[in-house]
Amino acid sequence: MEDKKNVYITVHKSFVREGIEYFDKKTGQMGKFNSVTLPRDTVMDGMDLSFYQFSPLFVNESRFKGEDFRDIPLLADKEVWLKRTVMDPDGNPVTDESGRPVKDTVKVMPGQLKEAIDSGRERYLASLSERAKGAREGSRELAGNTGRSSMSREDIPF
């Protein structure tokens, strides 16, 4: 018997909504579900998956990145259905004949989704690093023009 392996996707807690309550018409009881929204710049095979959503069964506090991140276990061999409401050019949801919003659905494998989220996060962190570097250089120039020391905390040798 072969073990089913999990793929763990890690995202910031601001992209995760946990324990959303709903009324189940079949059982007549209240139920709960989780929702994850993909971050901006999540690109897979040239397709932008930014802000697509899916509902994982489990969401756990991240074991490695701390309390501000969430680990989402997904079965490696089961597709993840990503959904997003279709919008018109004015930003309003497009509706079908019955008045319900039209959804765009994309099916992806968890391994591909993990790679897309991780590469988007790497690009985001690289852009933050570049902006911080530019800000440090600008402050050094200002400090040099006013006669102050241009040494920052990062330059202190101890």
Query: 92-136 pLDDT, tens per residue?
Result: 999 999 999 999 999 999 999 999 999 998 999 888 888 888 778
Report the pLDDT value the prediction gives residue 133, as an integer from 0 to 100.
81
Q: What pLDDT sits at residue 1?
A: 40
CA gap 132, 26 in Å, rounded: 53
Domain ranges of the chain: 6-146
Query: Residue 4: is it exposed, middle or buried by C-beta count within 10 angstroms (0-12/13-18/19+)?
Result: exposed
Measured distance CA(42)–CA(113) in Å, rounded? 9
Position 69 scores a pLDDT of: 94
Query: For the chain, which residues score pLDDT lower than 70?
Result: 1-4, 145-158
Q: Give residue 142's pLDDT.
A: 78
pLDDT computed for residue 73 by the predictor: 95
In a 3-state reduction of DSSP, which class is residue 56?
A: coil
pLDDT score, position 135: 78
Whole-prediction pTM value?
0.74
